[in-house]
Structures are given as structure tokens and as C-alpha cells.
Amino acid sequence: MVLNYIWISFFIIAFIVALVKLIFWGDTEVFVEIMNSTFSSSKSAFEISLGLTGVLSLWLGIMKIGENGGLIATFSRWLSPVFSKFFPGIPKGHPAAGSIFMNLSANMLGLDNAATPMGLKAMEELQQLNPEKDTASNSMIMFLVLNTSGLTLLPISVMVYRAQLGAAQPTDVFIPIMLATFFSTLSGIIAVSLYQKINLLNRTVFSFLGIISLFMGSIIFFFSTLPRENIGLYSSLFANILLFLIIICFICAGIRKKINVYDSFIEGAKEGFTTAVRIIPYLIAILVAIGVFRASGAMDLIIDGISYIFNLSGIDTSFVQALPTALMKPLSGSGARGLMVDAMTTYGADSFVGRLACIFQGSTDTTFYILAVYFGSVGIRKTRYAVNCGLLADFVGIIASIFICYLFFY
């Protein structure tokens, strides 16, 4: 429903702005530019969707090998002590824990469309444990905030879009996104824990969060000591080594389990192909709406207004052109994806704006969309403090993304 209103608003606002430009400024080309944008945007959306097919098939195939090879289940067992602290309402051995882990794993790989079915399954299983069927349980809220905070370690889809749009090093945003999403997720966990009175100073939880925080802090410190010209090189090298190492580990796990690795890959790749085809209409719809919005001049008015406000305070405004992606992300994933593509197309995939838009896209998630779909799927009407915690995580992710992008790319 939210996306419906956003989509309609893009067209109506574009029409009003174009009409004002025609009547008061005599701009006779504005409607020509709007119609031309509909054709070019729809063509770009289709080409981008086709480009996604191969990579989505690849990574969903790799994920299926990991699942059939038992690696996913192994990770789930390893994280069980931590999960039991964050989700005390889930009995030990309940299938909800496995579904939550699979959902978070897909999110961490940046496979948004693959994560949704797993998330809906997890929500159904959590509803079975929920004593008040119309009210969100503590476990549901923690699960939702972990989703809305955009917990992403391997932003596959973002890197695919960068490759499609000609980035010299599509993986150079890997480290910045990992850092930004860490701050977003950590703030979400802390917020929910304060509401639910979860003791984060518990030895297990504190050790887990402490180790991750130390690791992330070390990464920031390491890159802050590098010469500016070497940051992109090291970031890209580390990302590529880690990505290939994951592929090798999943394949080795399949060999150790004595499964047919090739057939498992094909099984997952088919799902990837289906997913890529399924998103074509959505990407066309949102990119056409954004193209019309930009061609009318409405986007420039918003950006100029925000730039003017920050200029008054003497703050550098290089980040402002990427803000539409950040502002759209809590409302619509496809909308934010379209704005990210638009930013890279307009300013360049390797520009500061293009990279920051990618970090925004990878560091948070679609708070309102996830809340509506996940809660709506099980009939939850009373969401309690889920929206507050989700939006707080989004805000922290946006601020962190800006600072981290200046550190790496400005």
C-alpha cells in the first residue's frame, strides 16, 4: 500500500511541477523530456534486470550447496547460544530458530528477494508461539528489527548493479556497507534490548558483540591509517578474497557431506533465475516513475532545498544528491534500488554520490514494507515499539554511511 501511494505521488508531483514550469517559465520541452524518460527508463530497467539473472542464479546456487551440505545448519548450531539470549521466547530446537537463521543468512548475502519467503516462514512459526495473536511478541519485534536494520555482510545485489553500470571496481563498497550495516544493526539490537530488558552484559552476548565490535573497529582503524589512494585497492582486494573463499567453503562442505554439488547448485540457480525474472515488472515500474519525477525537475527542487539548508550551516553538501536513496529505503526497497541506479546513472557508478547511494542501499532495509508484509502475513495489528526501533536503526545507518563514505571515497 505504501509503495502504491509513493508511485502515484511521483507522477502527480511530476505533472504539477511540469505544468508550473510550462505556464510560468514557458518551458515547452519539459513534457517532451518526461515522455522520453519513460522510454529510456523502461529500457534501462529491463537491461539491468537481465544482468541480474546470472549473479542471482550463481549465489542462490551457492546458498543451496551450503544448505544441502549442512553448513547453514552448522552455523545455526554455533550461534544457538547467542540466539537463545536474543530470542528467549523461542524454545530450544524449535523450527523458528532455523527459519530465522536462514532469513538472516540471505539478508547478510544481500539476497533480498530470497530472504522474504524465509522471513514469512519464520514469522508464521513465531506466531505459533505467540499467546496474543493480534499483538507482536518480543521475539517477533527482535526478528523484525534485525531485518529492518539491514544486516548485510555481502551486498551481492548492490555489487551486481555497480558492475552493470560500469564501475571499475564493483566490490569497492563492500567494506563500507559492512561497517555501516554493523552500526545500524547494533543500534537496533540495543534499542530492542532496552525495551525488552535483555541483559546485553550477559557474558555470552557481551562476548559476541564485543568480538564483532572489536573486529569492525580494527577495520576502521586499519583503513583510516592507509593513504587515500590505497583504500579502494585494499577494500576491493579483501572483498574479492572473502567472496571467493565463501564459494570454496560452501563447495568443500558439499563434498564433505557427499552430496551432488552440481545438482544442488542447479537447484538453487533455478530459484535465482525465477527471482530475477520476477523483479522485472517492479524495477520497470519504479524506474519509470523516478525518471518522470527527475525529468520534471521535482528531484532537483528537493535536492536544491536540502543543499540550501546544509549550506547555511557550512556543512559540505556532496552527500545530498544521494539522500533520496536513504529517504526512500525505509519505505520501499525497489524504490530505493531505483534511486540508487538513478544516482549511478546520473553521476557515475564510481562517483562519490554513486558510491554513497550504494552504501545507503546496503546499510538499511525497508522498515515499513517489512513491517507491513511480515506482520500482515500473520494478522498482527499491534506492532508496539517495532516502528520506533526500526526507524532508529535506519537513522543510525544513514549517519554512519555518510561518515564512512567520506572516510573511504572523498
Q: What is the pLDDT of residues 287-301, one digit of tens each?
A: 788 788 878 888 778
Note the pLDDT tens digit of each residue in 21-39: 999 888 888 899 999 989 8
Query: Residues 204-214: pLDDT tens digits?
Result: 888 878 887 88
Euclidean distance between CA atoms 94 and 91, whole angstroms: 6
Is the model's pLDDT at 283 over the cut of 80?
A: no
pLDDT greater at residue 250 or residue 372:
250
Is the distance from CB of 325 to CB of 364 less than 8 angstroms? no
For residue 330, is pLDDT > 90? Answer: no
Please tell me whether the overall predicted TM-score, pTM, comes out greater than 0.75 for this model. no
> 229-262 burial by CB neighbour count: b if 16+ within 10 A, else e?
eebbeebbebbeeebeebeeebbebbeeeeeebe
What is the model's pLDDT at position 239?
Answer: 64
Return d(Cα 296, Cα 17) in angstroms, integer: 6
148 contacts 366 by C-beta, under 8 angstroms? yes
Most confident of 131-140, 222-231, 367-376: 131-140
383-407 mean pLDDT: 90
Find the mean pLDDT for residues 221-227: 76
Task: Determine how many CB atoms are found less than 10 A away from the CB of residue 19.
Answer: 13
Res 332: pLDDT: 65
Nearest 5°: phi and psi at 323?
A: -60, -35
* Whole-number percent of the chain with pLDDT over 90: 19
* Strand, coil or helix: 135: strand
Per-residue pLDDT band for 360 (boundaries 50, 70, 90) equals: very high
Mean pLDDT for 86-102 is 78
Residue with grid cell 508496539, as numbered in its chain? 384
Q: What is the pLDDT of residue 405?
A: 92
DSSP of 150-203: T--S--HHHHHHHHHTT-SSGGGGHHHHHHHHHHHHHHHHHHHHHHHT--TTSH
Q: Are 288 and 41 in contact (CB under 8 A)?
A: yes
User: Which residues lie below 8 Å from residue 354, measured CB to CB, with a gap of 6+?
Assistant: 165, 167, 322, 343, 344, 347, 348
User: Would you place residue 141 in the very low, low, confident or very high pLDDT band (cuts 50, 70, 90)?
Assistant: very high
Residue 327 reports pLDDT greater than 90? no
At residue 111, the pLDDT reads 57
Residue 317 near residue 295, CB atoms below 8 Å: no
Ranges of H-type helices in 69-94 = 71-86
Model pLDDT, residue 357: 94
Ranges 121-130, 156-165, 183-192, 366-375: which has the least confidence: 366-375
DSSP state of 91: P
User: Which stretches of 348-410 are DSSP H helices?
Assistant: 352-363, 367-370, 376-377, 386-409
User: In this model, does residue 264 exceed pLDDT 50?
Assistant: yes
Q: What single-letter amino acid sits at 156?
A: I
Place of cell 519513460: 38
Give the pLDDT of residue 2.
Answer: 46
Q: What does DSSP assign to residue 226?
A: S
> Which whole number is the average pLDDT over 140-163?
80
Three-state DSSP at 330 gives coil
Contact 126, 113 (CB under 8 A): no
Percent of the chain with pLDDT over 70: 87
Average pLDDT over residues 37-50: 80
What does each C-alpha distance from 191 to 25, 81, 186, 212, 403 come to in angstroms?
50, 21, 9, 18, 22
